[in-house]
Amino acid sequence: MNTAVPIIFFSLGKCRKFHPTLKSALANFGLDNVGHIEMPEDFSGAMLKSEVERVRRAFLHSGVQADVLRANFFIYDDETALAFPDLLHMAEKLFTAIYPAGVITDVYCLIDDVNLLENAGSRNAVFQMLGEFQRDEGFQIYLLSNLSDKNAFLSEENAAQTAALLTLFKNYTSSHRAGAADASRYNEFFFLENCKTRSGNFLTAGSVVLSVPHEAIGALIATEILLYGSEGGGTGAVCDVLPAPIFPPKRTVKSMEYLCGIAIPSANFADPLTRGQWISRLFGERLERIVGESEVPPDAEDDEQSEEDMFPGMNFYELLHHTGEDGDFYIAAKEDAEAALAELKTVCERHERWLNARPDLKNESPTRRLSPIKTQNLFPYALASEFLKRKVELQFLDEKIKVLERRVRSIYKFHKRLARCGDEIKKTIAAYNEKFALIEIVFHQGASDYFQKKFAEYAAENKSEIDKLCLEMTEALRRSEFNKFKTRLNEFVEKNILSAPMFALPVADILREMGEIPATAVAEWTMHCNHMGVRLRTGSTQLYTETNLYVPEAATGLEVKKICEARGIGRLNLFADENAACVAALYHSGAFDASELYYLASEDEGEDEGVDEE
Amino acid sequence: MKNNYLIGDAPDGELRRFEWSADNKNNAVLEWDWPKNRAVKLMFIFPWEKEEIPDIEFFLGEEQTREIITRDLASHFTIPLEAEKMKFVCATGFFNEDKGISICRNPYVTDWVYRKIAITADAIYKPISLSPFHKVTLRVSASDYSPLTCDVLRYAIYEHGQKAGEYPLDAHSMSGACGFYLKKEQRVKFILDEKFGHLFELRS
């Protein structure tokens, strides 16, 4: 925005601390053609001259040439403000030489109503000084209080914003007004004519800005990511099959050559014994000992998966669902373990039947030629070999069951741990909920749904990115690094999502996209803001409040104007700038005589006069 | 006898070394280095077969067996192990001014010393005519009964110096009633588990 008239902002004494905040607010509203001069309360003429000259050269350098200048002076309600008369006179002398058409002067006094009692002495002196100046010089004096009429604390940023908006409105040209707005241009005199005032021209002002609450939206998006997949969407990479467990390999069975070295007693193989009885008679318990001593295959002890490695690549909520007692993984693992138990039972029964039966000596008695005339019946060793094979199989099934039962227990313990992680997520979401509650305040009820839908669109277009982030969350939860992930999540939301086109819309576009009547929404908001007002501790009544609304679009603004004025908000002036990213409302309330600003009563007057608000 | 002994400690009266072992004849062998204090001239040795060790006063009673070794003669002592396992309580002593004897209050006590069981194990080879095999019979006997014998003893088959297999034993297979056939180049060796070396001695 380009103003025709250059403006110099003076900050005197304690107000120099306010200066950076003011500069920032002016930049927010795109005010250029401004210069800034900071002066200590004990300034000298030479100092002031040097500063004025500096600013003038800067104006010339940037191509600003005008016959008239606006000078805005900022002071605090303390003793450093008492140097203001000297500052003003010296400045006017310097300006007269440079700007022959004159200087339009406004004074802004920041008053500390929070520490009313502490500042009483210096405040009275400052108001007396200003009152004398106003009567003699006639320029506008604005009081910017740090308390609203609801006794809510208003920050210095608010005061700077108000000053910036006042400057903005005073410098609007017709091209910036909403088309078909009132023909009369906003100016102080018009305002004052429409106010029921006493004599004196101290004005109070406040402002609010409706802009997109990025931090709140970021909190909402972060919540959506934390909940991503909890309603069955998820990564889509659901494993239908439980990952296979790792069983230890079967133990090796001794060869017949080895078995032929076992010492056995002589026996008549025609004896009617069962296989079990033969084994007992020939080998005693030595075969069991041989089975127990058979080499343990490598990696037999390493079959237990650590929880950190279980089910990699799955979304947290998928994991939570599938590992729960009703989940696919738990059920499948239990079924596997039960099936293995059933198989073991079958094999055990089969083994018992084999042991309890008599051997078929015809088919179970291989022989070995020891010499041309001597043959050895290898029935005992064939029996031992078959026995050992069966024992190894039983042993394998037993170990398999242990692995499968361990898997069921692991899934159960893993699920419990995930549930605790879920509590951690809930706590984080609760903290985010407090932040994004602001969305409903700034916009209206239902605004959260709008932003949730926006995120859903973003997630659909960037599915792999969101899936990857959710997997990172799952990994972080597994490894107890959730706090690190939260930092990463906030960075991701800010850099990747909030900067995406669908979230970078100006507030007016957002209001339109919400599907409601944007004008109604802004009108509601304006009505709401109108109640904020500023503190009126002067005892004045019958004050007329004027509101100026700064909206990005003329059409919306006209509707808002109609709604608000129909609802008795009073006069609503509109200013539009299609590049604006915010909707701002500036409120003026009343004009006061300096004598009404003496907050404290003297001993003779008794108690404080107090507030008599409209 | 008890009344002739006092209980007391001499300065620098600790033994500088105290060791014990069992030899292969089932004797317990105790060895020590006498203390710095040359007044300590006596070593009282009390054999003991129970877990709990009573106070030294008990051992000084008339009923208790003891051996006394004097400093000038020896710093070791050998005694047959009359039970399967025994402990030895050893207390130093010195002469008082009145020629009485004082015994150290805190004796030295050995761990259990075990009598070793001697295992004799043989493999008897019987050739078979016209056969590359021979029949092997195992015969194992022990000087005393121990339920551990079957667990501590195994046999292995060696062929050309390489172990081809190792096998457990039980009472039946050690009795001489069990056998098997081996190739003539194969031989049997018996193996005693080292962990039980202090309880068993293998002679094969």
B117-203, CATH topology level: Immunoglobulin-like (2.60.40)
Average pLDDT estimate for A207-217 = 80
Which structure tokens are listed for A609? 């006069």
Q: What is the CA radius of gyration of chain B?
A: 25
Name the amino acid, one letter, at A115: N
Condensed to tens digits (0 to 9), the pLDDT of residues A373-398 reads 999 999 999 999 999 999 999 999 99
Which structure tokens are listed for B89? 């309580």
Look at residues A393, A389, A292 and name the one whose alpha carbon lies nearest to residue A348: A393
Q: A261 and B165: CB-CB below 8 Å? A: yes
Residue B48's CB is within 10 A of a number of other CB atoms, namely 18
Q: Is A370 part of the contact surface with chain B (CB cutoff 8 Å)?
A: yes
Same fold, B2-114 and B117-203: yes
Percent of chain A with pLDDT over 70: 78
The mean of the pLDDT values for chain A is 80
Q: B179 and A263: CB-CB below 8 Å? A: yes
pLDDT at residue A520 tops 80: no
Q: B164 and A258: CB-CB below 8 Å? A: yes
Question: A109: part of which helix (H) or strand (E)?
Answer: strand A102-111
Separation of alpha carbons A22 and A155, rounded Å: 12
Residue range B2-114 forms a domain whose CATH class is: mainly beta
DSSP-derived 3-state class of residue B168: strand
Look at residues A335, A344, A313 and name the one whose alpha carbon lies nearest to residue A245: A335
Q: Which of residues 100-129 of B touch A (CB under 8 A)?
A: 128-129
Which structure tokens are listed for A380? 């005992």
Most confident of A467-471, A548-552, B81-85: A467-471
- What A452-459 contacts at long range (C-beta under 8 Å, 24+ apart), as own/partner pairs, is A452/A220, A452/A224, A454/A502, A454/A503, A455/A220, A455/A221, A455/A224, A455/A497, A456/A224, A457/A502, A458/A497, A458/A500, A458/A502, A458/A503, A459/A224, A459/A228
Residue B37's DSSP bridge partners are none
What separation, in Å, do the N-terminal and C-terminal C-alpha atoms of chain B show? 50
How high is the pLDDT of residue A538? 43
Q: A263 and B131: CB-CB below 8 Å? A: no
Q: A286 and B181: CB-CB below 8 Å? A: no
Which of the pair, A210 or A420, is modelled with greater confidence? Answer: A420
Question: B66: part of which helix (H) or strand (E)?
Answer: none
Pairing of the two strands A68-76 and A102-111: parallel
DSSP-derived 3-state class of residue A112: coil
Pairing of the two strands A583-592 and B85-95: unpaired
Which of the pair, A23 or A515, is modelled with greater confidence? Answer: A23
- Give A261→chain B minimum CA distance, Å: 6
DSSP-derived 3-state class of residue B49: coil
- Closest alpha carbon within chain A to B123: A263
Which structure tokens are listed for A226? 């934390």
Condensed to tens digits (0 to 9), the pLDDT of residues A266-325 reads 999 989 999 999 999 999 999 999 988 775 655 544 445 566 667 777 889 988 888 899
Residue A507's CB is within 10 A of a number of other CB atoms, namely 22
In chain B, where are the structural domains located?
A: 2-114, 117-203
Among candidates A284, A289, A368 on the partner chain, residue whose Cβ is nearest the Cβ of B172: A284
Q: How many residues does chain B have?
A: 204
How high is the pLDDT of residue A583? 76
Which of the pair, A188 or A204, is modelled with greater confidence? Answer: A204
Q: Which residues of B touch A293 (CB under 8 A)?
A: 168
- Asked whether B68 and B44 are in contact (CB, 8 A), the reply is yes
Average pLDDT estimate for A135-152 = 77
Q: Is A265 part of the contact surface with chain B (CB cutoff 8 Å)?
A: yes
- Asked whether B60 and B1 are in contact (CB, 8 A), the reply is yes
CA angle A463, A465, A468 (to 5 degrees): 105
Phi and psi torsions of B28, nearest 5°: -90, 135
Average pLDDT estimate for A204-227 = 85
CATH code of the domain occupying A1-171: 3.40.50.10140
Among candidates B157, B170, B171 on the partner chain, residue whose Cβ is nearest the Cβ of A261: B157
Lowest mean pLDDT across A62-76, A156-170, A532-546: A532-546
Q: How confident is the model at residue A183 (pLDDT cuts 50, 70, 90)?
A: very low
Which of the pair, B112 or A600, is modelled with greater confidence? Answer: B112
Residue A91's CB is within 10 A of a number of other CB atoms, namely 23
Average pLDDT estimate for A131-147 = 80
Separation of alpha carbons A84 and A91, rounded Å: 10
- Asked whether B100 and B88 are in contact (CB, 8 A), the reply is no
Which structure tokens are listed for B160? 């050309």
Separation of alpha carbons A573 and A570, rounded Å: 10
Q: What is the CA radius of gyration of chain A?
A: 44
State the ipTM, two decimals. Answer: 0.72
How far, rounded to the nearest angstrom, does the alpha carbon of residue A190 sit from its chain's CA centroid? 45
Which of the pair, A169 or B120, is modelled with greater confidence? Answer: B120
Parts of chain A belonging to CATH 3.40.50.10140: 1-171
